[in-house]
Chain A
């Protein structure tokens, strides 16, 4: 492998895998660094204004072009509704939940997953500090929202938020915003919202990319196999980290339709690859490969693509499909 000026560890502390494509990454970074510098300047000007976070239209366009890491925590807390929730529930809710008596089954379930969360991240594997921060966030949340408790996958989401914000309290509120307001019922014991959204994305693919839908059905790869991790981890541990964060910028601001836009874009950008697979296992490998390929590494282009590639997609349409598929599922059960 050619010498790379990029280290084995990325800016969030993740070890790059052995098969990491440095060449693609270098090409991308040479362009992206300029974009980052430009955006950073723009954001610094914007954030100086008192009214910065109230200008919804400007904010939306700025967010789609990426929030600089130093402003992510502040902007996420604002646009996700986390700040409002904090006022409603009391600013010391997190502290209270950490200090409350904890259910031993929950403690055990969370503890088991701590060393298994980002074992290839230097912040999580070098000392207990991050693991303990993550533990407190997850146990506090599990007790705050007893209906959800702890669902595997939340460890990755909270873990990544923690790597960005470095702040437990913010991580707790952002996790709460995601689980309760932004994503519909993915993590509850029945996972109803997840099952609905898996059927919804399957239907959306049928409408937007009928040939892909047909091919997936022919090879017999069930949609839950493809999309469970996409949705539960909101692409964390699926797409490259920087791309995930760019998606989350939009997700916190615009809501769960972003999750579908991303799924449709991953598929829409790789139609010929997907259609060229002839076997079930080949298709499965193809889907694992494309989420790490050049089009997703280039997070800036990818984020722009999610608003173009799938075409028009309104929340109204998504909700109508959700309604239909969820009723169909209930009827099947009965």
Chain B
């Protein structure tokens, strides 16, 4: 199944590398974890996304130059009492997106707690991204961009403000993670152009291919 993801190269030239990574989404209830995944995987948005019970699993593939990065995405339940189940999802994860809601200060506090937990308990090389979601609700903003950015820098996290509703920075944050993840061989030259994104979701019936720059 995985070899469908990479472009085929004829005449014995090396096939594109395929890397598979486990990524987990963590964050307070209703900050938009499932919405970010839905936007990334299916390009959709529901104003009222059903609350996730337990966890949901989806996959999505992005292409970076000659490397195909397949994300196995674990979308978790946000309510505090589901916390005891979380380690099962972030155990062995190579990447995490910790999400907060820019209109709710408490969710930013909770995001920091998640970051701390990941730094303590998850794989030591885990790539952590911080996503300030609901950035489209600028007039309700409670968490300043600068504050979150400073925190992210201090802790060595990727950081973006995102909007699952408008799609702003959703692909970008996944792509940034894909770039930062260690591939088994280094990809030639850092900053090598824009990532091409191949949409190939094998959890949905629809399979389409599109490229964005």
Contact = CB atoms under 8 A, between A and B. Distances in A.
A225 B29 contact: no
Given A109-B79, A190-B84, A232 B49 contact: no
B137 interface: no
B53 interface: yes
B48 A119 contact: yes
Contacts of B84: 190-191, 195
Interface in B168-210: 202-203, 205
Interface in B72-92: 72, 77, 79-82, 84-85, 88
B81 A228 contact: no
B59 interface: yes
A233 B49 contact: no
Given A112-B29, A116-B30, A195-B84, A153 B53 contact: yes
B29 A281 contact: no
A124 to B, nearest CB: 9
Interface in A170-214: 187-191, 195
A103 interface: no
B188 to A, nearest CB: 30
B50 interface: yes
B85 A109 contact: no
A279 B53 contact: no
Interface bracket on B = 20 to 34
A224 B48 contact: no
Interface string A1-41: 00000000000000000010000000000000000000000
A125 B46 CA distance: 13
A188 B82 CA distance: 10
Contact of A285 (B29, B50, B77, B203): B203
B57 A284 contact: yes
A152 B55 contact: no
Contacts of A132: none
Interface residue SS majority, chain B: loop
Contacts of A224: 54, 85, 88
Nearest to A119: B48
Interface in B35-75: 46, 48-51, 53-55, 57, 59, 72
A152 B82 contact: yes
Interface string A261-288: 0000000000000000001111011000
A284 B75 CA distance: 14
B156 to A, nearest CB: 29
A113 interface: yes
A151 B1 CA distance: 38
Contacts of A285: 202-203
Contact of A152 (B49, B77, B85, B203): B77
Nearest to B92: A220
A187 B80 CA distance: 12
Contacts of A311: none
Contacts of A188: 81
A222 interface: yes
Interface in A66-104: none
A229 interface: yes
Contact of A222 (B59, B77, B88): B88
Interface string A115-151: 1111100000100000000000000000000000001
A191 B30 contact: no
B81 A189 contact: yes
Nearest to A150: B79
With most chain B CB atoms within 10 A of its CB, the pick from A112, A119, A152 is A152
16 contacts: A109-B29, A115-B48, A117-B50, A119-B50, A152-B29, A153-B53, A155-B51, A187-B81, A188-B81, A189-B81, A228-B53, A228-B54, A233-B53, A237-B53, A281-B202, A285-B202
Interface of A: 19, 109, 112-113, 115-119, 125, 151-153, 155-156, 187-191, 195, 222, 224-225, 228-229, 232-233, 237, 279-282, 284-285
Interface of B: 1, 29-30, 46, 48-51, 53-55, 57, 59, 72, 77, 79-82, 84-85, 88, 202-203, 205
